Structure 1
Amino acid sequence: MREFLLIGIGAGDPDYLTLQAIKAINRVDVFFVLDKRAETAELTRFRRQVCEQFATDRPWRFVTLQDPVRDQGQERYTSVVEDWHDARARLLEQAIRTELEEGQCGALLLWGDPALYDSAMRLMEIIQARGNLALDYRVIPGITSVQALAAGHRIPLNRIGEPVHVTTGRQLAKGFPEDLDAVLVMLDGDLSYRKVMEEDMEIFWGAYLGTEDEILISGPAKDVTPRIEQARLTGRAAKGWIMDTYLLRRTRRSD
């Protein structure tokens, strides 16, 4: 039996690692990395830095895998993502079989938390369902960009009596929820809030949260949108990638 850990390493600051994550890292023999492209090599370097800083109890090594390219077709989004997950699972399964010996421990170091908009647990379930590899896995939670956003802006995620609604840019583009006053948005490559923005809305936006390149912008959404747009363009041009998160909400109505 091989052991596998899905370790949440936070949103970009090594100090975000929990004690549980550090203990888990020190049990790992092989760290697997699904590297998407040259532009995101910085994220791979960060994972290696985490290991060099915290993995001190035993020898370890990195195995880097070229992540399968996902079809960007929009008309059948769900099936496209499912096909991509299946391709990733097959790639990871083969790597575990050849690179991780029986009795050893492998791991994926996951940005943020494995439970929030991350596919790693789905990959493990696909591998187990295929039945070709005896694999036991555990999940180690991490600090998300949502928490880092709230801390950076010094705001609670919800006002008194409000629910917390977390969604994606793709879903927000379909319309702002009628029964809510606030949404937390992740995975938004197009700043979809511009399609649903109302006069009284405010935004708390952040990019590269937890890193030395962190950017925070807040204020009335219509007023600060040009600044956010420019910050995204500048960041992407400089780094080749951008990860941003934001809280969009209506001004609090009188009770």
Structure 2
Amino acid sequence: MRHIHIVGIGAGHPDHLTLQAVAAIARSDVFFLFDKGQDKAQLSSLRHDMIRRHRGDSPYRLVQGESPAWSSRGPGYEGIVADLNRRKTILTGQLIDTELAPGEHAAILVWGDPALYDSTIRIIDALGAERPDLTYDVIPGISSVQALAARHRIPLNLVGDPVTITPARRLDAMDWESAGTVVAMLDGGDALTRLVGRDLEIFYGAYLGMAQEKLLAGPLDGLAQAIAVYRADARRQHGWIMDSYLLRRCRPAAG
């Protein structure tokens, strides 16, 4: 049998690794790493540091694959994602077939938690269905949602209220009267600026757990433009950005 550990490694800080994740790294013979280009070299470097820190002195192998690029193929957003995952599945299957020997364990290190806005579980599950000798497990990680609330020192939910986690592109359709707390991820545009005037407060976090971490909190109307400027500057400086934010209706002033 061959086995794959899908390991959640947290939102960015090396100490986000759980003891279960450390144990999975320590018993892995090979690590599949997917290169996303020089702009995101910091992300690759953090993975390498985690492996060196927790794998120990016994031999292991690093197998690098070039992550498929995002393209505009496919009908709509879902079609684009389906095309991307199809190409990721082909690449991952090739790595498994050529680099993972019987009796070996491999690890795929996933940012945040593998169950939240990540396709690795679906990809490995599909590949396992075609390979009777392939098994896998999933090691949960600290998600950016958890890290965001912790860094702002706030509870994720208000008492008795729901919590919604959504791609930012769906914020325009949100019913803010009943939404409770909304955590937005995957904001590739200017979703926040379209929410000005809706009496919302925001808790914003970028590069959570990293040296360049940025936190902002307050009424959205007063911060939307500053966040838009910061995001544009951060992309120019670093070549990439990982951010998320929590939104809820402004609370009435005490008294």
> Which TM bucket (shorter chain)?
over 0.9
- Alignment RMSD, CA only? 1.8
Residue aligning to 2:169:
170
Residue aligning to 1:240:
239
Judge which range, 149-158 or 65-74, deviates more. Answer: 65-74
Judge which range, 101-110 or 66-75, deviates more. Answer: 66-75
Q: Which runs of 5+ in 2 are unaligned?
A: none
1:73 offset after TM fit, Å?
5.3
| Distance in 2 (alpha carbons) for counterparts of 1:187 and 1:230 | 17
1:21-73 alpha-carbon deviations (Å, 9 max, x no partner): 10110011111012222211111111000011111163212111011123235
Structure 1 residues 96 and 56: CA distance shift in structure 2, 3 A = same
How does 1:37-186 map onto structure 2 within 5 Å?
37-56=37-56, 58-72=58-72, 75-129=75-129, 131-132=130-131, 134-176=133-175, 179-186=178-185
Residue aligning to 1:195:
194
What amino acid does structure 1 have at the position aligned with 2:70? R
| Distance in 2 (alpha carbons) for counterparts of 1:215 and 1:170 | 22
Contact 2:193 2:225 in 1 (8 A): no
SS of 2:163's equivalent? Answer: coil
Residue aligning to 2:13:
13
| Distance in 1 (alpha carbons) for counterparts of 2:237 and 2:196 | 28
Query: Which aligned runs of 4 or more in structure 1 are off by greater than 6 angstroms?
Result: none
| Distance in 2 (alpha carbons) for counterparts of 1:177 and 1:65 | 42
Structure 1 residues 127 and 177: CA distance shift in structure 2, 3 A = farther
1:153-201 alpha-carbon deviations (Å, 9 max, x no partner): 1111111111111001122134445521321001111131322333421
Q: Percent identity?
A: 45
Judge which range, 196-205 or 213-222, deviates more. Answer: 196-205
Contact 1:3 1:103 in 2 (8 A): yes
SS of 1:247's equivalent? Answer: strand
Contact 1:207 1:243 in 2 (8 A): yes
Contact 1:175 1:196 in 2 (8 A): no
| TM-score, length-scaled by structure 1 | 0.93
Contact 2:192 2:224 in 1 (8 A): no
| Distance in 2 (alpha carbons) for counterparts of 1:2 and 1:70 | 30
| Distance in 2 (alpha carbons) for counterparts of 1:139 and 1:227 | 38
What amino acid does structure 2 have at the position aligned with 1:203? I
Residue aligning to 1:22:
22
SS of 1:252's equivalent? Answer: coil
1:132 offset after TM fit, Å?
4.3
| TM-score, length-scaled by structure 2 | 0.93
| Distance in 1 (alpha carbons) for counterparts of 2:175 and 2:49 | 40
1:223-248 alpha-carbon deviations (Å, 9 max, x no partner): 01122122212211111000100001
1:114-159 alpha-carbon deviations (Å, 9 max, x no partner): 0010110011122123x14621000000001111111111111111
Judge which range, 79-88 or 143-152, deviates more. Answer: 79-88
SS of 1:219's equivalent? Answer: strand
